[in-house]
Amino acid sequence: MWVDIVILSLCPAAHLLRQQVGFMVVSLLFVMSCCGFILGALANIWLLEKFTFGTILVAGAAVQIVTFSVQASAPPFAAFVVVNLLNGFGGALQDALSNGFVGALKYNAKTKMGILHAAYGLGAFSSPLVATQFAQMERWSFHYLVSLGLAVLNTLTMILVFRFKSQEVCLREGGEPVGTVTDDNGKGKFRQIMTNKSVQLLAFFILFYVGVEVTIGGWIVTYIIEIRNGGPSSGYISSGFFGGLTLGRVVLLPVNKLVGERRVLFIYAALAFGLDFVIWFVPSLVGNAVVVSIIGLLLGPMYPIAMNQASRILPPWILTGSIGWIAGFGQAGSALLPFLTGAIADRHGIQSLHPFLVAMMAAMIVLFWLTPNKAFTSDGPAPQSDLEEKD
């Protein structure tokens, strides 16, 4: 979705549309995606009880083919917006199950979670590079043909790798131990997940985190163009941010382990919080671009750290469903908070971006601080000085 903002910031035709209807209407793209993410996050819990893990993954990937097929044809703006509901729904299913699957791993789980999200960052890094090129073309919507090709490739990969199998079978074939877990007190999993304090706090943390990530990665292009007088190449700043995000999820793994994941997250958050003030108050185009990349580096490890936290503190019988809800609900932040950014910018101008970002970062830090720091054991939650596991 940050790619939509890059396109709408740089493309002459889309830029004219934005001038005619304003930030608010353009941000309806995020409203539909948000609805799709919420529906996908809720459906994930129910679907896991009805269908196999592999089947749901394939279905989520296939739904996105429909979205990009429509958007590549440059339909009327209303249709362009509506199909984003399907994109959000399919993305939520895949995000939920992929995080739940890696969260259930026993061997080198933290490293693998970092690699999983580094792959996401790599895609996010390359997307603005492609979008910036297509935005200068008359048929700018052909950018979505690239997304369509990737969606088809993704669907075929899901079929070949998971072959519609259950998660237990996939784990066992991958050499992972698969234990037998039962429901707690006979309660339904949906009720357990929705009433678990830790699950909901982590879900809202991820919502704000992803909102910050996508807001910076997308709206920073508009900010640089309109406030710092950047040119058509400003879209590359978004790639710089996601490049930093990708690196952070890999190169900072030793730092996370040395300092402790929970502790180091607060350090990264404080540094990113301070650096946003640099972008806000220092009127340097080059300097702002560099700082944006550093913020991406610092934000990068936060998502996998939160998922690792969930894996340690939640009961195993609701782990996959819980991580699915956390990831799916959290991804709504990629739609909701950029929408709010657009709505505020429509009224007060894009210079309102940084006050809003500062508020979101502060909320994000508080939510993670409120998350319980107790590892789940077979005897129930047990306090630890820091929830670190040996890889």
Q: What is the pLDDT of residues 220-237, one digit of tens each?
A: 888 888 888 887 677 778
Measured from the Cβ of residue 344, the count of other Cβ atoms closer than 10 Å reads 18
Report pLDDT for 138: 65
Report pLDDT for 377: 63
Q: Cα separation of 146 and 142, whole Å?
A: 7
* Residue 300, helix vs strand vs coil: coil
Mean pLDDT of the 375-384 span: 56
Report pLDDT for 368: 95
pLDDT band at 55 (very low <50, low <70, confident <90, very high): very high
> Hey, which residues does 376 pair with through a beta bridge?
381
Q: Cα separation of 144 and 128, whole Å?
A: 12
Averaged confidence pLDDT in the chain: 81
Report pLDDT for 126: 72
pLDDT band at 378 (very low <50, low <70, confident <90, very high): low
Report pLDDT for 12: 46
Tokens 């969260």 map to which residue?
103
Report pLDDT for 296: 93
Q: Cα separation of 275 and 290, whole Å?
A: 11
pLDDT of 160 > 90? The answer is yes
Mean pLDDT of the 76-87 span: 85
pLDDT band at 385 (very low <50, low <70, confident <90, very high): very low
Report pLDDT for 128: 63
Measured from the Cβ of residue 287, the count of other Cβ atoms closer than 10 Å reads 13
pLDDT in tens, 185-219: 546 778 888 889 999 999 999 999 998 988 888 78
Report pLDDT for 311: 84
